[in-house]
Amino acid sequence: MAEEAAPRKKIILSGIQPTGVFTLGNYIGAIQNWERMQRDYRCAYFIADLHALTVRQEAGKLRAGTLSALAQLMACGIDPKKSLLFVQSHVPEHAEMSWLLSCHTQFGELSRMTQFKDKSAAHADNINAGLFTYPALMAADILLYQADYVPVGDDQRQHLELTRDIAVRMNGLYGNLFTLPEAYLPKQGARIRSLADPTKKMSKSDPNPNGAIYILDPPEVILKKVKRAVTDSEARVAYGEGKDGVNNLMTIYAAVTGRSMNEIEAEFAGHGYGDFKQAVGEAVAEYLRPVREKYAAYLNDRAYLEEVCKEGAAAASAVARRTLSKVKKKLGLLMK
């Protein structure tokens, strides 16, 4: 009797823009899941450099940021042998599919995108057409790979809904072209707050340089930021109401050491915040040490990064081309 075939692994796709460095909050809250997801899903990760062009970029910084983002992803555990890992602009099918989808996206739908309104307000001197049609390119990113799931934050949920609307519309007109993607809601890691204002989440756009710890910060910088973290006047390491700053530091310490809140309270009973902050800073620095070391090794091997880019582009194009060809035939375009 023939063995049953193993069920097809679902496809997950996620893209990051090549701007800035992941924060400790990003890493603990979400990115650590990405490495684990490679075991259970067919994963595709890409550097969204075309999306970055909706804001004016310095050419040299964009190229450096793209390589940095690639090295960060690999340092955080994304394995190009297990996942599709590529640079968006290296796969021309994204731009071509974006045009085909734009022709099936209504002006009114794009006009309702709240992110367009927000970014237009933030960049009033550069309200370009790409900023307006950005969701069609995002839909192309997703639909080209027939993604089942897309990890999205609240700011991208509307774009994912539009992607589904476009897919439903085109499936209705031309037959079964696209898989309908769903939002992927992984088990969240600890929610890390700003060190400067623990009522807000830790963010790489925090105007206060002491608010965020970045995964590439050297140990002395991490220690300095933690020592400056907001606490309270009680000087007692205990989790409770009205102790947002201490709660945040305890959450961080728990996430990087695996200790429970009760264990942390017992460990620092009778100690002031100075001893506690020293321990938190040292623990975070050690926790991030493997990421820093791997990142430095990848970034110093330019030839390897370029090889990853080349192989990733070829593998991604092979997948994307199948979907694009199917769509072009259905639309009546003459195939070469």
By annotation, the residues acting in catalysis are 119, 201, 204
> For 142, phi and psi rounded to 5 degrees?
-80, -50
- C-alpha distances out from residue 48 to 16, 87, 90, 197, 330, Å: 6, 7, 10, 30, 28
DSSP element (H, E) containing 47 = strand 42-47
Chain position carrying tokens 């800035």:
20
HEC assignment per residue over 82-98: CCEEEEHHHCCHHHHHH
Q: How far apart are CA 219 and CA 285, in angstroms?
A: 5
- Selection from 219, 210, 231, 331 nearest residue 276 by Cα: 231
- Tokens representing 151 are 């990890």
User: Which residue pairs, CB below 8 angstroms and at least 24 apart, start in 328-331?
Assistant: 328/100, 330/174, 330/175, 330/177, 331/100, 331/174
DSSP element (H, E) containing 150 = strand 149-151
